[in-house]
Amino acid sequence: MVLRLGTTQTLAWASSYYLPALLAAPLAAELGMAVTHVFGAFTLALVISALVGPAAGRAIDRHGGRAVLLATNLLFAAGLAALGFAQAEWQVWAAWCVVGVAMGSGLYDAAFATLVRLYPVSARNAITGITLIAGFASTVGWPLTQWGLDTLGWRGTCLGWAALHIAVGLPLHRWLPRGRVEEMPAIQVAVSPDSHASTPAATTHTSAGQGVALVLAAVFAIAWFTSTAMAAHLPLLLQAQGLSASTALGVAMLVGPAQVAGRLLEFGFLRRAHPLLSSRFATAGHPLGVLLLALGGPLGGWLFAVMHGMGNGILTIAKGTLPLVVFGAAGYGERQGWLMAPARVAQAFAPVLFGLAMAHWGGRALWLTAGLGLLALALLQGLALHMARRDAVPATTPRPDAPA
């Protein structure tokens, strides 16, 4: 299951999220568009994905992930084919709208929800495994896209990715089980972040549960704003910190392997820890890296890449496992869609907003993301204290977020 979904997630990310970086320039040149308009269409796709996410998660909760993921292969294929045949700018925008619907129902959140419905008890390790495989989406996707541009042109590249969704994605998703493999536990439980005790999971239908959901949504939005801003601006940002162009590029290339290293760390040493512990560790990575960069010069740049990348890699897993442990498996897909909607919007506008910050502050713009990271860390620490106090309440005392 991990190999199947890891492969299809690699295909989905490579043919959508990582596509504009290489495709935008030749597409814009042939159609007479501004490159910024191509990225504007991609931003619209990310916003649409945020709007689609809750409905897609609800469908997976009710019917399983097989039908939803099969539909996303068709949507990806249709959107990419439409992009490959586009003759006018409005057609490019329309094609990215279709791809946006596919992204909202076919990327990590949908795969995580599929796993949780199939394996409500043991999904955490499978989620980690999928992120380990799909973490190489850019490593695989960018060379394939560049090869396609060199040999087939940008139109042929789009059509090639569309064909892969039909030839590879559809068969792999057709092999997914139709029903639940593990039985849903009779009582949803969540493990205390600071102990091995088990307590009833919070529910989003209570005021306490809604507060926890808001905290998690804010943390994920901050994390995805920062990771997308760094992905878009890191080489120039490091040069603004005094690193040479070649050194800045080498540092930026280290982020990807560091993300995989972080996921391996989570899978190994942190797999038995509560996700709140690993999330706090990961959230501290970017602010600590910024501090090391400020103090250490070129060496600090390499340390920054390691800390930022490892933290980002662990948080990719935490966005799937933390809501599962806190709230339980029931209704996971729809809840995940709502929790990640602000993160996807933040992701969509991060390159533009952080670019404006760089225009005003230069390299000091890093202190903005460092401050946001400290805010996220404070929110997670407050959540850990809240859960610890909740778990300390005697069993005879009814808790406000306990199920009736």
Separation of alpha carbons 88 and 83, rounded Å: 10
**CATH value of 2-174 in 1.10.10.60, 3.40.630.30, 1.20.1250.20, 1.10.10.10:** 1.20.1250.20
- Selected residue with higher pLDDT from 273 and 110: 110
pLDDT above 60 (res 396): no
What's the pLDDT tens digit per position in 329-367? 788 888 888 888 898 889 888 888 888 888 888 888 889
The closest alpha carbon to 41, from 28, 26, 55, 52, belongs to 28
Helix 65-84 crosses helix 108-118 at what angle (to 10 degrees)? Answer: 160
Q: Would you kindly state where each structural domain of the chain is located, as residue ranges? A: 2-174, 189-392
Domains 2-174 and 189-392 agree in fold: yes
The closest alpha carbon to 261, from 316, 208, 222, 209, belongs to 316
- Selected residue with higher pLDDT from 401 and 16: 16
CA distance to 92, 209, 230, 315, 393, per residue, from 305 (Å): 35, 35, 10, 15, 42
Name the least confident of 10-24, 68-82, 187-201, 272-286.
187-201
pLDDT above 80 (res 74): yes
- The predicted pLDDT at position 265 comes to 82
Number of neighbouring beta carbons within 10 Å of residue 218: 19
- The predicted pLDDT at position 334 comes to 84
Separation of alpha carbons 63 and 42, rounded Å: 29
DSSP string for residues in 134-167 = HTTHHHHHHHHHHHHHHHTHHHHHHHHHHHHIII
Name the least confident of 161-175, 266-280, 299-313, 383-397.
383-397
What is the tally of helices (H) and strands (E) in the chain?
A: 17, 2
DSSP string for residues in 191-244 = E-TTSS-EEEPP-TTSHHHHHHHHHHHHHHHHHHHHHHHHHHHHHHHHHHTT--
- The predicted pLDDT at position 350 comes to 86
Q: Are 325 and 191 in contact (CB under 8 A)?
A: yes
- The predicted pLDDT at position 372 comes to 95
pLDDT above 70 (res 208): no
pLDDT above 80 (res 207): no
pLDDT above 60 (res 152): yes
- The predicted pLDDT at position 203 comes to 58
- The predicted pLDDT at position 400 comes to 43
pLDDT above 80 (res 121): no
What is the rounded average pLDDT for all residues in the chain?
Answer: 84
Strands (E), 12-146: none
- Selected residue with higher pLDDT from 194 and 131: 131
- The predicted pLDDT at position 403 comes to 41
What mean pLDDT is predicted for residues 74-80? 97
**CATH value of 189-392 in 3.90.550.10, 1.10.1740.10, 1.10.10.10, 1.20.1250.20:** 1.20.1250.20
pTM metric for this prediction: 0.77
Percent of residues, the chain, with pLDDT higher than 90: 35
pLDDT above 90 (res 125): no
What's the pLDDT tens digit per position in 168-194? 999 999 988 876 555 555 444 444 444
Q: Which amino acid makes up residue 150?
A: D
Name the least confident of 29-43, 190-204, 280-294.
190-204
Q: Are 202 and 113 in contact (CB under 8 A)?
A: no
What's the pLDDT tens digit per position in 222-235? 998 998 888 777 77
- 54-58, 198-202, 356-360: range with highest mean pLDDT: 54-58
- The predicted pLDDT at position 389 comes to 79
